[in-house]
Every structure is written in C-alpha cells, then in structure tokens.
Amino acid sequence: MIVYNTGRLGLSFSNSPMCLGHESSGVIVRLGSKAARKASEAEAVASLLSNINGHIGKAEANAVVGRRAFNIGDRVTLEPGTSCRMCTDCNRGQYQICEHMEFAAYPPVHGTLQRYYKLQADRVYHLPDSIELVYGAMMEPLSVAVHAVATIGCLRTAQNVLIMGAGPVGLLALAVAKGLGAAKIIAVDINEERLDFAKSYAATDIYFPIRQEANESRPDYSVRAAADLLLSTGTPVRGPGSLDLVIDATGAEVCIQMGLNAVRPGGTYVQVGFGPPDVQIPLFRVASNEVIIKSGWRYGPGDYPLSIDLVARGLVNLEPLLTHTFSFTDALKAFDVTKAGKDSEGKMNDVRLIKETGHSVVLMTRRKGEEVIIKRSRESENSRAVTKWHNEVKMLKNLEHVNVTKILDAHAIDMTITLRYEPGQSLDGYQDLNMKSTITRSACEVLLRQMSSALAYLHAKSIVHDDVKPDNIMWSNEQNRAVLIDFGAAFDPSSLPQKHFEPSGTPSYVSPEFLNRRKSDKGDVWALGIVILFALGIITLPSGAWFLPSVFREGKDQRQMKDWLDVIGRLTREVAEMQPLVVKMLETDPDKRISSGALRDEALNYCR
C-alpha cells in the first residue's frame, strides 16, 4: 500500500507506471527450454523407475534427479526475488542478501500482479492439493516468519518464545512458533483487539504494556516493562520456563530494549521489524549474559518449503487471517478497499493507512468495536521528535471540544497516540484538477465558525496551535463538521521564557510578525485567514516553500516570504468588501488583528 500511495519504498522510487504485488501464487502456462528439459528428464526417470518398481512415481523421480520438475498446469507459489547467483552471498546460500537482488514491486522493478509473470524455476514451488491458491499467495509473508523463527531463531520444540508486535508478521511468527511446538508463546502489542485475536489464534499468553512514567527514561522503562511482562505471564528470568527466543516485529526502540531485557541469559534475539536507523540497546545486559542478537531479512533457502509443509500438515492455519477476496480483474477495487479500510458492505479491514509523512504514520483501526486513529512517530531516535511527541500528548490530554481532536490513549513504548476517529478527510483533499477548493460557500461559513470557536477555546486555555493549515483540519461534508488536529507544534506561551522564539510552523501560513521573531495566539488567527482564502477559492495552496530559519537574513528565503505576504495583502484588499471578517484576520499588525474570541463572536453572525 505504501508503494500504491506514494510510488516509493524507502529510498527506492519509480517515476513510471509499475505493477505492484509480491505475494502471489498461480498456474504455470509456459516453460522455458531448460525447465522443460528438466521436466522431461524427471518424466524419463519416473518411467524407468516405474518399470523397476511400480509404486515409485513423480515425487520420488524428482528426488532422484535432484531438481523440481514442472509441467504446464501445475499450481505453484512464487518466491518473487531474483539474485545474481554469482556473488559470495549467493554462493554461501544467503541469496536473500545479494546486493544485486531484483525483488518484485520494489521500485522500479515490476511486481507480480500481472496476467503472466516470468520467474526462474528454482524460485517456484509446487502447491499440494490441500492448499488453495489464495493461501499459496500467503506463503510469502509466512516465509518471512519461518525465516525469523526457524531458520534464524533456530526454535526447538518445547522452547519458549516472546513475539513483540501482533501485526501481520508478528501473528504469522506466533503461528510458526505454535506449529513448531513451542511451549509458551507470548504476544505483546498496544492494541487490545490485536492481542485478543493473537490469543485466539496462536498465543498462549498476551501482554499489554504498562504505562511509562512522566519522567522515566526509555531504557529505564524498558527494564521495568520487561520485568512486569515476566511477572505477569509467570515467566522466570532464567532457567526452565524462561524465554529462549525473542522476535521483534515492531522496529520500535523501546520494544527492542524490552525484548533484550526479557530474553534469558544465553537466549536468542531476532530483529525483523524495521525502525529508526540508530537505537540504544542495553549493551551490558546483552554482553554479560551472552545474548545472541540476529536479524532476519525476507527469506532464504528452505523457508518456502517449510512454510508449505506447515500449512499442508495443518500446523499453521492461514484462514483466520483472510478477510476479503477479489478476482484478478478487481485488483484496483482491492487496493481501494484496503485504502478505505472497509468494503461496500461496511466490512472492516484490521488497519488502513491514512497518511504517511517523514515524521509519522497515521493509521485507522478498530478498538473495542470503535474506529480509532493511531498516530505513530517514525523518528523515535530523534530527541526533537520525542519532545514533540510528549508535547502533543501533554497538550491534548485536557482538551474537550467538538472541533478539536480528542486523545484516547498514548504509549511511549512505540511513540503512538490513539485519537478519536474523525470522518471525512483533511481540507487539502478538497481540490479540483486546477487545485481550486471544492468547498461550498455555505460550508466555508461553517468552517469559519467552527474553527474560530476551536481557536478561542484553545487560546482561553493558553494553548497556541502554531500549525493551522488545511492539512491539519479534517472536514466532513456529511456531518458538516471541522476538526483541528496535529498538536505536535502547539505551545503554552505562559510557560516559555520571556522573548523565547522557536522558528517552527509551515512557511505559507506563518504571520508577518514571524519576521520580527514574534509568536502569539494571533498567529493562529492569521493562519486561519489563509485557510479561509483557500477554502473560498481565492487562492490555491502554495506549491513551493521557503526555509523558515533563513528568513531572518537577506536572501532568497526572505524574499520569497515577503513576496508571499505581498500577495496576501493584495488579495485581502481585493476581497475587503466581500469578506470583511477575513480582512480583520489578515491584518498585518498583530496588535490590531482580531482576537480569536472576537472572531468567534463575529463569525456566529457571518453569513456573507
């Protein structure tokens, strides 16, 4: 979905149309010359052996020949990566880390969602009759879990396992651990519904993390949380019954720390989830207890066959993980349903991506039957991002206004905030092909009344939002309701040192006094004025931007900002008679600019 929404994955991207998909199965329709020759050799051996011993058939013949033989019409699952087969990594059996690997749907390589897909024969595996094609496609994510738990983690029967994260990979890791005979399987997640599903699916125990104290460091918290996990699940620190293997499928720094603090002395820790590029680990605890740290990347030799075998023998059940099926010709509909989080009948997906930025990922999911928003910081190694996360939690926890987002919960364990679900979409989504607002005039009036009410409420509580813009205002045409979101930049001016100034905000929405290093609640009023100009169709959203910290010295950035302010000044004068209230909001002198309280009162009678 990330590639579908953004056209990129990590540092890889595509500027041209490309096919997506890497979790696939299918039916062979054509064989290359070498594959056909191998099939003929196997058939010849089978025929010869059959004459010698009547009960020997194709499977035994394949084993004798030492190759997998394929025929047109065979049902197969695909391992969708092609390595160079020549480098040191490939030759020692670790082709998954080949630097020349071409992996399906990893931009700009085309994926498997095509009518026909060509793949080397030794990356294709037969599906037994007991496995339907739809589950054959799930061998790819299952092999990721098999690689982590069995190949890298070397799990043995009756050992004890901790899985951090109950997302798709985490759930499959639970299933693999159960299928391989683990004695105790503990699942950890901050989503209670996911934990409930994990318990019904494969986990013997579940753990919902305790809260981090206000002034508690992340390393200290991880030690305390690990101890609480062991105590809550009746798991000893060492000896019989302790944790032999920990799999982290989250990538969150505090989960990594927690897992390393929970694994037994001499135990194995496997990192599967992606996270920040640098994390702090409890090095003394790891070194003094000879904890073995490993990592798992996709899958390698033997992982697909083991995955197929586990499912074929009924040791792993994939059926509970499947929520929807679509025909191949409905691929676009499938993506739309995944993106929307529900189908036309209202059947929900577990999670859908709402928005992704360089700073955070915003998802919609369900908790206790209700739709909620999960906002997760993706910069947990960045001290400024951590401060911003704590600031947003602090600002939101005491707010209660119909036009202000509401916090439901927060977890420092992976820097997530759970928020009330707001229907509709952000205001910047209401644009036509010419980038003009599609908001109606009457809706603009409602928008102004509701947002001025929200700002007056915040300012009365000594909170400045400091980033009012269309991206941070949710609007629902159905409910005729606006909601202000994203309080990461918000601040309480009364708690700051005198003359304190932070050059933050979004360039096109900062007020003129910013150039004089001044900030106040009047800046929110100015920004809302810019938003209203956009909503009324008077301006389009600026496509460029300037670097805010550079506007205080002469140069390109300062000129850009001043030119933009001149444009706003001219447009304000042009709409003065038609939009007198907007003129008061866009007064360049903050001392003369209308306050949010007065704006709220006047907006109640604003019908022009």
**Domain CATH number, residue 362:** 3.30.200.20
**Phi, psi of 163, rounded to the nearest 5 degrees:** -115, 115
Any domain includes 245: yes
Greater confidence (354 vs 52) lies with 354
Tell how strand 351-356 and strand 292-295 pair up.
Answer: unpaired
Residue partners of 315: CB distance under 8 A and separation at least 6: 178, 179, 180
The SS3 assignment for 205 reads strand
Any domain includes 144: yes
The DSSP string of 274-323 is ---S-----HHHHHHTTPEEEE--S--TTHHHHHHHHHHTTSS--GGG--
pLDDT at 204: 95
pLDDT at 608: 46
pLDDT at 435: 83
Of the candidates 402, 421, 440, which is a domain's last residue? 421
Query: What is the mean predicted confidence (pLDDT) over 430-444?
Result: 88
Cα–Cα distance for residue pair 189/414, rounded to 1 Å: 10
Report whether pLDDT(55) > 60: no
Cβ-count burial 587-607 (b if 16+ within 10 Å, e if not): beebeebbebbebbebbeebe
Report whether pLDDT(346) > 60: no
Kindly state whether residues 24 and 77 are assigned to the same domain.
yes
Find the angle CA(318)-CA(320)-CA(321) to the nearest 5 degrees: 70
Give Cα 397 to chain centroid, integer Å: 24
Count structural domains, the chain: 4
The β-bridge partners of 364 are 352, 373
Q: Which of 70, 81, 79, 85 is nearest to 33 (CA)?
A: 70
Report whether pLDDT(348) > 70: no
Percentage above 70 pLDDT, the chain: 86
- Residue 517 sits in a domain whose CATH number is 1.10.510.10
49 with 56: CB under 8 angstroms? yes
Any domain includes 326: no
Q: Give the model's confidence band at 12: pLDDT under 50 very low, under 70 low, under 90 confident, else very high.
A: low
Kindly state whether residues 71 and 156 are assigned to the same domain.
no
pLDDT at 376: 80
pLDDT at 275: 76
Report whether pLDDT(56) > 50: no
Kindly state whether residues 361 and 237 are assigned to the same domain.
no
Of the candidates 261, 292, 312, which is a domain's last residue? 312
Of the candidates 421, 449, 472, which is a domain's last residue? 421
Query: What is the mean predicted confidence (pLDDT) over 240-262?
Result: 95
Any domain includes 337: no
Report whether pLDDT(433) > 80: no
Query: What is the mean predicted confidence (pLDDT) over 314-327?
Result: 87
Kindly state whether residues 392 and 531 are assigned to the same domain.
no
Kindly state whether residues 461 and 406 are assigned to the same domain.
no
Report whether pLDDT(2) > 60: no
Q: Which of 295, 203, 201, 303 is nearest to 248 (CA)?
A: 295
Q: Which of 268, 265, 310, 317 is nearest to 288 (CA)?
A: 265
Query: What is the mean predicted confidence (pLDDT) over 491-507?
Result: 82
Tell how strand 292-295 and strand 205-207 pair up.
Answer: unpaired
Using a 10 angstrom Cβ sphere, with 0-12 exposed, 13-18 middle and 19 or more buried, the burial of residue 344 is: exposed
Any domain includes 325: no
Best-predicted range by mean pLDDT among 111-115, 168-172, 338-342, 354-358?
A: 168-172
Greater confidence (95 vs 330) lies with 95
- Residue 256 sits in a domain whose CATH number is 3.40.50.720
pLDDT at 58: 47
pLDDT at 545: 72
Kindly state whether residues 395 and 372 are assigned to the same domain.
yes
Taking the alpha carbons at both ends of the chain, their separation in whole angstroms is 43
Kindly state whether residues 413 and 461 are assigned to the same domain.
no
The SS3 assignment for 107 reads coil
Kindly state whether residues 411 and 435 are assigned to the same domain.
no
Find the angle CA(39)-CA(45)-CA(49) to the nearest 5 degrees: 145
Tell how strand 473-476 and strand 425-426 pair up.
Answer: antiparallel
Any domain includes 104: yes
DSSP run (H or E) holding 409: strand 407-411
Kindly state whether residues 211 and 174 are assigned to the same domain.
yes
- Residue 51 sits in a domain whose CATH number is 3.90.180.10
Mean pLDDT of the chain: 86
Any domain includes 329: no
Query: What is the mean predicted confidence (pLDDT) over 85-102?
Result: 92
Q: Give the model's confidence band at 526: pLDDT under 50 very low, under 70 low, under 90 confident, else very high.
A: very high
Kindly state whether residues 569 and 434 are assigned to the same domain.
yes
Any domain includes 336: no
Kindly state whether residues 569 and 449 are assigned to the same domain.
yes
pLDDT at 66: 43
What is the pTM (predicted TM-score) of this model?
0.63
pLDDT at 353: 66
pLDDT at 61: 45
Kindly state whether residues 9 and 65 are assigned to the same domain.
yes
Please write down the long-range contacts of 87-91, taking CB distance under 8 Å and 24 or more positions apart. Answer: none
Q: Which domain holds residue 28?
A: 2-137
